[in-house]
Amino acid sequence: MRGAAGTASAAARRSLRGALAPSTAPVWIAAVLLVALAIAFLSLGGLRAASRAPGAAAADQEVRTSLYAITVHDAELVDEVEEHYWKAKPDEQILLLSVRLENLTDHPVSLIGAADGVTSRLIDSSSPLLSLSEVTATDAGRAWRDDGSRGTPVLQPGVPAEVVIGWPVPRGSFADGDVRLNVQEAREVAGQIILSSSSITWRRTALVARITVGLTS
pLDDT tens column, 61-83: 999 999 999 999 999 999 999 99
Helix (H, G, I), strand (E, B) or coil at 214: strand
Residue 198 lies in a domain: yes
- Range from 8-17, 118-127, 159-168 carrying the lowest mean pLDDT: 8-17
pLDDT beyond 70 at 4 = no
Note the pLDDT of residue 47.
46
Considering the domain architecture, whether residues 210 and 111 belong to the same structural domain is answered as yes
Considering the domain architecture, whether residues 30 and 64 belong to the same structural domain is answered as no
Note the pLDDT of residue 197.
53
Considering the domain architecture, whether residues 24 and 70 belong to the same structural domain is answered as no
Residue 60 lies in a domain: yes
Residue 50 lies in a domain: no
Considering the domain architecture, whether residues 206 and 122 belong to the same structural domain is answered as yes
Residue 68 lies in a domain: yes
CATH of the domain at 87: 2.60.40
End-to-end CA, the chain = 97
Considering the domain architecture, whether residues 121 and 14 belong to the same structural domain is answered as no
Q: How far is CA 123 from CA 35, 196, 211, in A?
A: 47, 22, 16
Number of domains in the chain: 2
Residue 49 lies in a domain: no
pLDDT in tens, 7-40: 555 555 555 555 545 555 555 465 556 666 666 5
Considering the domain architecture, whether residues 105 and 198 belong to the same structural domain is answered as yes
Residue 191 lies in a domain: yes
| Structure confidence at residue 48 as a pLDDT band (50, 70, 90) | very low
Considering the domain architecture, whether residues 93 and 189 belong to the same structural domain is answered as yes
Considering the domain architecture, whether residues 68 and 39 belong to the same structural domain is answered as no
Contact 154, 109 (CB under 8 A): yes
Q: For residues 183 and 99, give the distance between their C-alpha atoms in angstroms, rounded to a whole number.
A: 13
Considering the domain architecture, whether residues 38 and 9 belong to the same structural domain is answered as yes
Considering the domain architecture, whether residues 14 and 65 belong to the same structural domain is answered as no
- Pairing label, strands 200-214, 55-58: parallel
Residue 6 lies in a domain: yes
Q: For residues 168 and 153, give the distance between their C-alpha atoms in angstroms, rounded to a whole number.
A: 19
pLDDT beyond 70 at 187 = yes
| Structure confidence at residue 149 as a pLDDT band (50, 70, 90) | confident
Considering the domain architecture, whether residues 65 and 135 belong to the same structural domain is answered as yes
Residue 90 lies in a domain: yes
Share the mean pLDDT of the chain: 84
Share of the chain above pLDDT 90, in %: 64
Considering the domain architecture, whether residues 31 and 90 belong to the same structural domain is answered as no
Note the pLDDT of residue 23.
56
User: Which range of residues forms the domain containing residue 146?
Assistant: 55-214
